[in-house]
Amino acid sequence: MAEIFGFIAQPMGLFLKFIYNTLAFHNYGLAIILFTIFIKLILLPLTIKQYRSTAKMQEIQPLLQEAQKRYKNDKEKLNQEMMRIYTENKYNPASGCLPLLVQLPILFSLYWVISQPLKYMFQKSNETIQALFNLIPKEIAESIQSFSYDIPILNYFNEHPEEIIKAEGLLAKNEVVDLNFLGIFNLGLTPTFDYTKIVSDLRYLPLILIPVLAAVSTWLSTKYAMPAPSNDSAAPAASMTKVMPFITAFFAFSVPAGLGLYWIISNLVQIGQQLYMNKFVINKKEAGTK
């Protein structure tokens, strides 16, 4: 999957590196926050277009449902009636899909950029990353269960800075990203509820907040994500609002905390964008119509 979106992830990784070296003052947590905000702002026009399409679809939904009831036994007549409704209301069924199709590759690429900083920020080859991982003591390497070696490598050299001399020619000191954020969170560790792990390493204790905040922010984001549904569409929307926070929490307990931080900030920005669209896009449109 990473290779498929590599052509997008590569420039985004360089952008994250630029933010890390300049605006974020070599603070990886702050770099993720600023990076997420910039990406969401860049995608805002597409988000507004998609939201308008969704709002328009909900507006004509009662007409479509009435047509489906009236012509349920005549598919040809039903298709003609639906096309008439779309035309009269100036709605293109594909208009809501195109912005999403453009955004999805970017959102998938964000996942890989944040989880593999050595590969995408510092342009390290897979061979170099494997060579760096081989420098980690065997007993530590065997305990690592990760889809990416980048974060374990950075964690190891952050905890053992004297070992960086062994990585000469492979990794420079300024490429050892400090994953500590606010002196509380190690963004390279994966949150867990494992009591024995938390007791043996107290760094895992505050990390529980990451999935919790990710779930809460997802609930709020999902709640504001759609225009007010009609009675007929309220059930699916309510189900989505209930399910998505649990899905987010599950994944946040399965990946490094840096990705959880990205989800939190992304959700908060999404809520802000949604409030903006509700006030200045939808309400303004309704006022103009009146």
Task: Tell me 252's DSSP state.
Answer: H
- HSE-CB for 76 with a 13 A CA cutoff: 0
The mean per-residue pLDDT over the stretch 107-130 comes to 88
pLDDT at 274: 83
pLDDT at 54: 77
pLDDT at 185: 92
- For residue 102, pLDDT over 80 is answered with no
Residue 180: strand, helix, or coil = strand
Residue with tokens 């709020």: 220
The larger pLDDT score, comparing residue 129 to residue 276, is at 129
* Tens-digit pLDDT profile for residues 23-54: 998 999 999 999 999 988 888 888 787 777 77
Task: Tell me 181's DSSP state.
Answer: E
**Sign of the C-alpha dihedral computed for residues 227, 232, 238 and 243 taken in this order:** negative
pLDDT at 120: 93
pLDDT at 111: 78
Q: Where are the beta strands (DSSP E) in 127-285?
A: 180-181, 185-186
* Tens-digit pLDDT profile for residues 145-204: 666 788 889 989 988 999 999 999 999 999 999 888 988 898 888 899 999 989 988 889
pLDDT at 166: 93
pLDDT at 227: 54
pLDDT at 118: 94
The mean per-residue pLDDT over the stretch 110-135 comes to 91
Residue with tokens 């970017």: 106
* Tens-digit pLDDT profile for residues 205-264: 999 999 999 999 999 988 876 555 555 555 555 666 788 889 999 989 988 898 899 999
Residues 6+ apart with CB under 8 A from 210: 185, 191, 252, 257, 260, 261, 264
Q: Indicate the pTM of the whole model.
A: 0.80
The mean per-residue pLDDT over the stretch 70-98 comes to 83
pLDDT at 165: 94
The mean per-residue pLDDT over the stretch 95-112 comes to 73
Q: How confident is the model at residue 136 (pLDDT cuts 50, 70, 90)?
A: very high
Contact 254, 207 (CB under 8 A): no
The mean per-residue pLDDT over the stretch 105-110 comes to 79
Contact 249, 214 (CB under 8 A): yes
Q: What is the DSSP secondary-structure string of 183-221?
A: TTEETTSPP---HHHHHH-TTHHHHTHHHHHHHHHHHHH
The mean per-residue pLDDT over the stretch 254-276 comes to 89
